[in-house]
Amino acid sequence: MTTPLLFRTALALTLALLSGCHVYQSIGKSTGAFLHPVSGHDFVHIGNDEWDPRHALIYFYRTHSQWAADEIEAPSVYVDDKHYFNIRNNSFTWLEVSPGERQIAMRRPLMGLEGLGDFSLSLIVDATLMVEPGKIYYLRYNELSAPETGHSSLDPEHPLATSDLRLVTRDEAMRAEELVSTQFLNSDLLAPNHAATSIARDNEDAAYERDMVRLQQEREEEVAALVEQGLYDEPAWYWPFGGGARVPLQTERKIRERENAYALLQREREREDERAGDGWWIF
């Protein structure tokens, strides 16, 4: 039964690649606990000096169950639409993220394939989580049982309060030794991952790209409104450099401000890299 599905999925992915559509996949990274049990060190919080308090820290953990232990492929975890790891039975890992609204998604793969564009083979959760600088968050994953208590900061209908991936408090994570009994999700040849590190710069880049897409859409809407009001002149076909708005476009000011802020951020990154000894010299 799965062969036709795999064929159709492979064909769809091929077409998506040709059309430039985003493909979700974790081929070579999705090995489950049945084939590759987790064998890292027992859970321990990382030291305060191991992450930047200007950012936020998220612990991801998956409690033990026979279902998860028998799993051939483990689900993928995405932050801001970028894949970082596949979480196996009885494991934990962490990510240092940039403050603000982070998109958290989990997808279940089929031979490493997960979906394309807006289509997912099995979408476990797709939610936004607002994180604050210096704060620590705990995300618990279990397909069979829910935590005893929810997180008071979330609306009861929030996806991270209703799905198999739940935001829980530190006390709930420590209850009955759920979190402390897990083992670190090592990255190795059988199941490589890109977790246990800072992804703050990835988050900042993703936020900039989202903002620019949103601002360009707002600019198009602003131009359309000006056209209806007779305040926007379309350029003549024989002289494409003429025309334009008769009044300043507010969105163009917002776009310039966002571009300038991102340029300042990049310069600050360069200074941080130089202070950390990552700069280079020509002599």
Q: CA 274, CA 204: separation in Å to the nearest integer?
A: 20
Question: In a 3-state reduction of DSSP, which class is residue 200?
Answer: helix
Provide the residue-wise pLDDT of the chain in tens; the chain has 283 residues: 445 555 555 555 554 454 567 899 999 999 999 999 999 999 999 999 999 999 999 999 999 999 999 999 999 999 999 999 999 999 999 999 999 999 999 999 999 999 998 888 999 999 999 999 999 999 999 999 999 888 999 999 999 999 999 999 999 999 877 899 999 999 999 999 999 999 999 999 999 999 999 999 999 999 999 999 998 888 776 666 677 888 999 999 999 999 999 999 999 999 999 998 855 444 4
Domain ranges of the chain: 16-198, 204-275
Question: How high is the pLDDT of residue 6?
Answer: 52
- Write out the E strands in 3-121: 23-25, 56-62, 76-79, 82-86, 91-97, 100-107, 113-116, 119-120
Dihedral of the alpha carbons of 109, 38, 131, 96, in degrees to the nearest 10: -110
* Neighbouring-strand partners of residue 31: 73
Residues 6+ apart with CB under 8 A from 173: 59, 61, 138, 140, 179
